[in-house]
Structure 1
Amino acid sequence: MKQTKLWTKDFIILSSTSFIISLVYFLLMTTLAVYAIEQFSASESMAGLAASIFVIGAVFSRLFTGRFIETIGRKKVLFSGLLLFLVATLLYFTVTNMYLLLLVRFIHGAGFGISTTALATIVMDIIPKERRGEGVGYFSLSNTLATSIGPFLGLYISQYADYSTIFIICALLSMINVIISLFSKIPSPAIIQDKDNTLKGFKLSNFFEKKAVPISIMIAIMGFVYSGILSFITAYATEINLIEAASFFFLVYSIVLLISRPFTGKLLDQKGDNFVIFPAILSFAIGLVILSQSHNSFTLLLASVFLALGFGTMQSCFQVIAVKESPQHRIGLATSTFLICMDFGVGMGPFVLGAIIPLLGFRGLYLMSAIIVFLSIFLYFILHGKKAAANQKVYTKAS
């Protein structure tokens, strides 16, 4: 049986757009805190706020983007987000104090939230349904590549040039994004007769898709745990004298994802949700246990392999499940619901987990995190796994 084409012109353009957005995000994320300290004599907490307020802007904009995608139109929302993202990169040149920087970061975060929510919704629609897991796996690699290239590029440029050079590069990349996206054909959303009426007012259902909530709760928990790695891996590596190995931690993580995601996406499509998710949760838990007991470079990098096969796999597969469970005309709301929950988990994690470190230490933190992830197997079964197993039985019989 001939497979429906996945690598269309539009899929490539939108994946490239996503890569550039993520590249700018990570490029600035690794340099803005130092910029704030050097240029405006900001305290470490204020410099940290310059990074986190971006996420606040993204979450705020996503609350409304999912709704507007279906009422205003996907094309208008995407271009609005990309233009706001571009304007924000230009505003960095006008910043003269810390408060203006915080405002620009919030606006930039809003542009990021609108653009990425719209992109994820549109891509879900242009990927053939029978290849959705595989397609999202490939699409999400754009973010994976940016995770590796962005921080490297940011640190490299900051060593050999000034911050204006970084802002110029970000502005040029954002401009390229607006231009290349003009060449993509964006499909209109599925229309239902009373759609405009159901999305009017300020009901909770107009901002969140309830059928996407169960799996979104799972990504919030997993994102919460993963934030402990993002935020504290360098401090942990310094404590156990493995700082050199830690510099390769996310590189190994990205390489494993580049290799594994296309395969895990195909397995999700062909074998069902549980076939992929249960091993992924176990892999995440094992990775955290190995991380908590690392005493040499090999075990630290081995942990990154299991973490990539765990959290990295769940991140893309959960997004597919969120959309698959939701009505076609509410894909935008399902996508924003999923991303808001993930951002919330990742955003809250450092604050809560940071308070636990003085009590348990880094090793204790990661061991506790492993227990949380392992126990979440049962929560997943209740929230989605049981239903997925029943659906797979029906699908198998029908086949």
Structure 2
Amino acid sequence: MTWGTCRTLFAVSQGGGVRSMSQPRPCSPSHPQELVYRRQEHIQHVTLNRPHALNALSLEMVRELSPKLKVWARDRDTAVVTLRGSGEKAFCAGGDLKNITFSAQEGGSYGKEFFFEEFTLNYMIGVYPKPFISILNGLTFGGAAGLSVIGRFCIATEKTVFSMPECAIGLFPDVGSGYYLSRLSDNFGIFLALTGHRVKGRDLVRVGLASHYMDSAQIPELELALANLQWPVTMEDMDLLLESFQATSSSNFPESFSLEAHRKQISHCFSGKSVEEIVTRLHEDGSGWAISQLDTLGKMSPTALKVTLRLLQLGGDMDLAQALQTEYRLTQRCVADRDFHEGIRAAILDKDHNPHWCPSTLEDVTEQRLDQYFSPLENQEELILDDSVFD
């Protein structure tokens, strides 16, 4: 693959399988259990338990949770699965991206394995045969969407803060975003994907990313109601139950949609066929809001912006499996390229928040370069997703 004048910083292993990483580390006092399980009647509760890391998802957690979801999908005594984050700050702050860079520096395959297994888990949640409820009671960033928004039942609370900030680190909104963000009305999906705009509380329901809203104080009541549901539990039963909680929440009090004043601007400006056209429309708008969006876009990786827009333009014609397959290709190109590692350096390692993108301008990100990103992987390394994920 040719990347023009921008040189790849890290050599990434291209050979071998995708499951050669070491086994998950055992629990110990210094490494507490990262997933906590609690059974309540026919309900299986799961808690992401890395509060010190805002419950960021590690490969070990993916490898532990995936086989359990398979078992619960077949288990006649399991009616519902719930997922939440420990602590008061976060549901999940995304994936373990820092270790992908460390592995790439050593020529390792962590980036291949992490995304392969994470996206497989995302797909399982997206097509889960039983009610799967994610409770977003806190920060929900990046890869967290693949544990929540991707599923049938996703609950926002007054503490929810949702963002897909990947373009700021030289990546792109992944974990199925090509499927669900491309389907939001008024170009909200493109707006959220390119800018990383933060959506809070009940606005997540309004834009179409959460299925229901409830107050965080209602969560214990929800658990009790779930345990008392008459067996068996259908998707329709669950929808009615969650609707009843939403009806008695503070969502009934008047509160305007935070983006309502800019709905027409978002719809118009972010309908541009290219990132350059979006930028032009924002300049033509000229409002304070538009200037703020231009400032935000100017800080993002030009390559990531163009990859993201093309992904969402294609995503409307994809099913979930196809979107995740495409996104897996893109992650492997990002890990093999410069901007992702530069973004991690600037945001997470050195924390100088001054990334030097290459190419540095939108005009220098050619269609040929984008075609290379989206081209099929070689050596039968594609991600294939179907019903066999539950075998």
Give the TM-score normalised by structure 2: 0.27
- Greater fraction strand: 2
